[in-house]
A and B are shown apart, each in its own frame.
Chain A
């Protein structure tokens, strides 16, 4: 399955699963990152880090390090 790391820049996507430990999952949730919202990978290469923006709630951008980005499984949209 694709991760935020593997998809291309400017690709819109939905988060399907976060395969991370409790503390980082909690961090992502509290910062407004949830499954089923629509996001865009606004910056970052496949070597990380990446920047995503939640398009569903017009939130600010969140930068995520390579390690964690590779654990966020996504479904690319519009393909």
Chain B
């Protein structure tokens, strides 16, 4: 069996970047706490030996406080990790060493990768790596993973560690009274756990007894309650606070011994820009500018590209029409196949690529944490806090990672509200639908109106949900230093997301499109249309032929564009036989009803079937009511484009 090496570290320490470099695979990373909320795995070659490399979500401590951190703890507690590579941001060494101590306490062999050395130097920090290694008695590898510096040395150290098979780190000692308590527990605790040391169990009995129950149910920690109480009496603080406080001071002391401040090579880029980005006035102006600019760039780039691609697609469709007379099966299959590919290339890609490119750029800068700060008070009004901003912004790209991203939220209530609201956020697929239809019919102002209306819908739903799920906890979030995004990394991330899209969505688009060709030909659509008839005809005044399109839209929202054209018998969406008022009502409905089948299953996996079905039902009701209100408004005001 392959040996396992796990990359473990605090958020923003550069674990995922190191993982990318080591694996040469592009995984999504970003300058925002807790973006990696899933376990990534790959195989690497260490001098001829195939080793399983694991990238675990960033966490501040084994005493996890959210679901993303729990993923990391669970992995370490339940899997045999042969070697931990503790990635520490050299610029934040004092804080990083708190986790290092905790990891040493586990007893699992470890190497320290002191990352971002270049940044630390620029901040005026000089670290005596040799001295740190002696103090910890474990290998310490200085590196700047983003440029590949030091990575080869890390591989060498992994190899040496595997070869020597010896591990004797310096164990940090707490003050005498706490140490005495640890010894008493250590000598009396019964465990045959193969992963964690007895000392680890003893410390966690004092610091975080619930963690012990999660690892080994059989340990009776109540036996040690008197010992734990004695710490609280002696230190006059709660026991977890006493351990945490001492660990903090040991780390600070160690950091002071190994680092010194020298002259900074340049002023902190972050501080200067932050004074504008976090300003009560300029901050909001820049927030509006950023997202406004993002919105218009995507809209105009997308509509410019489609103005070239639409006529070409139309001409090709015209060209193969004679095939219908030759062989109908061949025609239907080819027509579905072509329209599926054309839909992906000609409709989806022009909006999707600019969207993920701009999104990747923003993630890389660290701006999203600033946006969270600026929007915290506003989000409070809707029962959430600024920490949800990242999940919501991620939702603009795709709702699925956004639902996973709710794992970084501290309370279950915040997670639940966010997860129910995220499906209302127009993902790239729905943005494509909105942009394509508004660009073809109504112009950018209506795209803005639709987006503002969706935001209002999310706000109202959030407000209502927060009334039922009241438990405000508030935001605690790290604001990482701003980074000038690397062009290469931004392009790499865009490529990764695009690849994911092509792999996951394009087959759906093509198969859905082929299926629709047959459905239309054999008139199966009529049954589906009849099912949707009451909603479409009576409530929304839309062509009844769109019924099957909307049902298929549940598979992938991009299908709607292709299918609406197919269902209504036109070559291009700009030829759809609908009034502009109907187009707006259609867009509102499509934007708000449930995003896609994958989101549904991810919701079910993360929150259970009740939440998944509840969320889907809520979205259909909200979409119908919202679209009906638009129809009513148009009719009452006699509004005609």
Determine if A59 and B474 form an interchain contact, defined as CB atoms under 8 angstroms apart: no
19 sample A-B contacts, Cβ–Cβ < 8 Å, listed by A number: A23-B410, A26-B65, A27-B410, A29-B244, A29-B248, A31-B476, A32-B94, A32-B98, A47-B377, A48-B376, A56-B94, A57-B95, A59-B92, A59-B94, A60-B12, A61-B478, A63-B477, A65-B376, A67-B474
* In the bound complex, CA of A40 to CA of B484 (Å): 25
- Once A32-B95, A63-B386 are accepted as A-B contacts, the answer to whether A49 and B475 lie under 8 Å apart by CB is yes
Determine if A28 and B94 form an interchain contact, defined as CB atoms under 8 angstroms apart: no
* In the bound complex, CA of A58 to CA of B476 (Å): 18
A-facing mask of B366-385, CB < 8 A → 1, else 0? 00010011001100100001
Determine if B95 and A62 form an interchain contact, defined as CB atoms under 8 angstroms apart: no
B241 at the interface (CB under 8 A from A): yes
Q: Which A residues, 21 to 79, have Cβ-Cβ distances below 8 Å to chain B?
A: 22-32, 34-35, 37, 43-45, 47-49, 51, 54, 56-69
Determine if B241 and A63 form an interchain contact, defined as CB atoms under 8 angstroms apart: no
Determine if A28 and B476 form an interchain contact, defined as CB atoms under 8 angstroms apart: yes
Determine if A24 and B386 form an interchain contact, defined as CB atoms under 8 angstroms apart: no
Q: Which residues of A contact B241 (CB under 8 A)?
A: 25, 29
Minimum Cβ distance to chain B for residue A69 (Å): 8
* In the bound complex, CA of A48 to CA of B475 (Å): 11
Determine if B380 and A60 form an interchain contact, defined as CB atoms under 8 angstroms apart: no
Minimum Cβ distance to chain B for residue A50 (Å): 9
Q: Which residues of B contact A45 (CB under 8 A)?
A: 280
7 more contacts with CB within 8 A, not counting A30-B63, A49-B377, are A34-B245, A57-B251, A60-B12, A63-B376, A63-B476, A64-B474, A68-B473
Minimum Cβ distance to chain A for residue B633 (Å): 36
* In the bound complex, CA of A29 to CA of B102 (Å): 13
Interface centre among B255, B411, B476 (most CB of A within 10 A): B476
Determine if B94 and A63 form an interchain contact, defined as CB atoms under 8 angstroms apart: no
Q: Bin chain A's interface residue count.
A: 35 or more
Q: Interface residues, chain B, CB within 8 Å of chain A?
A: 12, 60-61, 63, 65, 91-92, 94-95, 98, 125, 238, 240-241, 244-245, 248, 251-252, 255, 274, 278, 280, 369, 372-373, 376-377, 380, 385-386, 410-411, 472-481
Task: Output the nearest chain B residue to A36 by Cβ-Cβ distance.
Answer: B245
Minimum Cβ distance to chain A for residue B210 (Å): 10
Q: Which residues of A contact B60 (CB under 8 A)?
A: 30-32
* In the bound complex, CA of A9 to CA of B481 (Å): 19
Choose from A47, A54, A60, A65 the contact partner of B476 (Cβ within 8 Å). A65
Q: Which residues of B contact A60 (CB under 8 A)?
A: 12, 92, 95, 478-481
Q: Which residues of B contact A66 (CB under 8 A)?
A: 376-377, 380, 474
Q: Which residues of A contact B410 (CB under 8 A)?
A: 23-24, 27
Task: Output the nearest chain B residue to A32 by Cβ-Cβ distance.
Answer: B95
Task: Output the nearest chain A residue to B208 by Cβ-Cβ distance.
Answer: A26
Q: Which residues of A contact B380 (CB under 8 A)?
A: 65-67
Minimum Cβ distance to chain A for residue B76 (Å): 16
Determine if A49 and B373 form an interchain contact, defined as CB atoms under 8 angstroms apart: yes
Q: Which residues of B contact A43 (CB under 8 A)?
A: 274, 278, 373
- Once A51-B479, A63-B479 are accepted as A-B contacts, the answer to whether A26 and B240 lie under 8 Å apart by CB is yes
Q: Which residues of A contact B94 (CB under 8 A)?
A: 32, 56-59
Q: Which residues of A contact B238 (CB under 8 A)?
A: 22
Task: Output the nearest chain B residue to A24 by Cβ-Cβ distance.
Answer: B473
Minimum Cβ distance to chain A for residue B293 (Å): 24
Choose from A27, A48, A58 the contact partner of B377 (Cβ within 8 Å). A48
Minimum Cβ distance to chain B for residue A33 (Å): 8
* In the bound complex, CA of A15 to CA of B99 (Å): 22
Determine if B373 and A63 form an interchain contact, defined as CB atoms under 8 angstroms apart: yes
Determine if A65 and B385 form an interchain contact, defined as CB atoms under 8 angstroms apart: yes
- Once A31-B476, A49-B373 are accepted as A-B contacts, the answer to whether A23 and B65 lie under 8 Å apart by CB is yes
* In the bound complex, CA of A11 to CA of B244 (Å): 26
Minimum Cβ distance to chain B for residue A46 (Å): 11
Determine if B244 and A62 form an interchain contact, defined as CB atoms under 8 angstroms apart: no
Minimum Cβ distance to chain B for residue A60 (Å): 6
Task: Output the nearest chain B residue to A56 by Cβ-Cβ distance.
Answer: B252
- Once A49-B386, A57-B94 are accepted as A-B contacts, the answer to whether A62 and B477 lie under 8 Å apart by CB is yes
Determine if B476 and A27 form an interchain contact, defined as CB atoms under 8 angstroms apart: yes
Q: Which residues of B contact A65 (CB under 8 A)?
A: 376, 380, 385-386, 474-476
* In the bound complex, CA of A27 to CA of B372 (Å): 18
Task: Output the nearest chain A residue to B249 by Cβ-Cβ distance.
Answer: A34
Q: Which residues of B contact A68 (CB under 8 A)?
A: 473-476
Q: Which residues of B contact A34 (CB under 8 A)?
A: 244-245, 248
